[in-house]
Amino acid sequence: MVDLKNLIEITKKIISREDVKYIVGYKKGTYGFQIMPAFAYTPEDAEEFIYSPLCSKNLAVYTILEEKLPLKRGEEEDKRKIGVVVKGCDSRAVVQIIQEKGLKREDLVLIGIPCRGVIEPKKIEKMFPNQTDLIEVIENDNSEYIINIGGKTHKVPKNELLSDVCKSCEFPNPPLYDVLLGEEVEITETEEFSKINELDEKPTEDKWEYWKEHFERCIRCYACREACPLCYCKECMADTLNPQWIRRSVNLSENTAWNIMRAYHLAGRCISCGECERVCPVNIPLMELNKKIERDVKKMFDYTSGLDEEEKPLFGMFKPDDPEDFIL
């Protein structure tokens, strides 16, 4: 459990430094189970920071949204650091972006949270529908959530609400941080790719039927792209008109092209935070695509993304023993 007093104290201390511009963390939303990103520019702002099992959003996405406006004549560049509260997967996203030279380590202050998993918003909303009052969730031990709604307390087994990605998370502890809030959590043995292996054994026609049914429902809202901390190209291939890689029409062909392209563009980069699937309004199981590629990358190149900021990204390195049987 994260000690909230400690989180606020540490945030206040960091934002009081002259070399820090702001810190991104979590605060209560405006209704129900909603949690919002919070930006602390002053020690007073840090008072509203919270951390609970509802904090599923990957805040690493905000590190790449920092706008660098053109400088006026005589104006000096603001070189202050940005602080971010990072769980295991958020920290891995930051590591991956540093590897890709999208960010510099020295521009960041990372407040690490050893993560015991987060609640899947869609699961809790289904269990307690149409809640408008603000709801509080506490994890009382490793197996139960205590949920307070309108003065009533509900106890729910953790497994019923835990995000699927957290059930098979191999890296709950941030690999990169400046300060860690609490003891590292123990890593439990998981069968990370069991579902993917199962799907893989199906005949090709069945796999196509399965994905066809899902891709047909895609509305190309690009929420999956916007929520992903590793989808930060200045111009996405899905938006270019010359050449136009994907047409704007929403149909099975173009939707398939989009979803396959998105998944492949994240090969060796996706850090399995589950944000893309979480925000998809039509519930496409995007993590099944991501996990398949993650498993294949691991098998072929013995590579796992987002663990060491000094390492080169998968597509930026070559090992003499890399398999080459796919080269025609």
Enumerate binding residues for ligand SF4 (CB under 6 A): 87-89, 115, 117-118, 163, 165-166, 169, 172, 218-224, 227-230, 259, 266, 270-276, 280-282, 284, 286, 290
Nearer to ligand SF4, 4 or 221 (CB): 221
Would you say 80 or 178 has its CB closer to ligand SF4?
A: 178
Q: How far apart are CA 213 and CA 179, in angstroms?
A: 45
Cβ distance to ligand SF4 smaller for residue 147 or 246 = 246
Using the minimum distance from each CB to ligand SF4, give the nearer residue, 80 or 265: 265
- Minimum CB separation of residue 251 from ligand SF4 in Å reads 12
Task: Please identify, using beta-carbon distances, which residue of 117 and 121 lies nearer to ligand SF4.
Answer: 117
- Closer to ligand SF4 by Cβ: residue 46 or 118: 118
| Closest CB 107 distance from ligand SF4, rounded Å | 20
Closest distance between ligand SF4 and the C-beta of residue 282, in Å?
5
CB atoms within 10 A of CB 149: 16
Tell me how far, at minimum, the Cβ of 95 lies from ligand SF4, in Å: 12
What is the SS3 string spanning 193-250?
CHHHHHHHCCCHHHHHHHHHHHHCCCCCCCHHHHHCCCCCCCCCCCCCCCCCCCCCCC
Q: Which is nearer to ligand SF4, 24 or 89 (CB)?
A: 89
Residue with tokens 């993560």: 115
Alpha carbon distances (Å) from 218 to 120, 144, 251, 252, 257? 21, 35, 8, 8, 11
- Beta carbon of residue 226, minimum distance to ligand SF4 (angstroms, whole number): 9
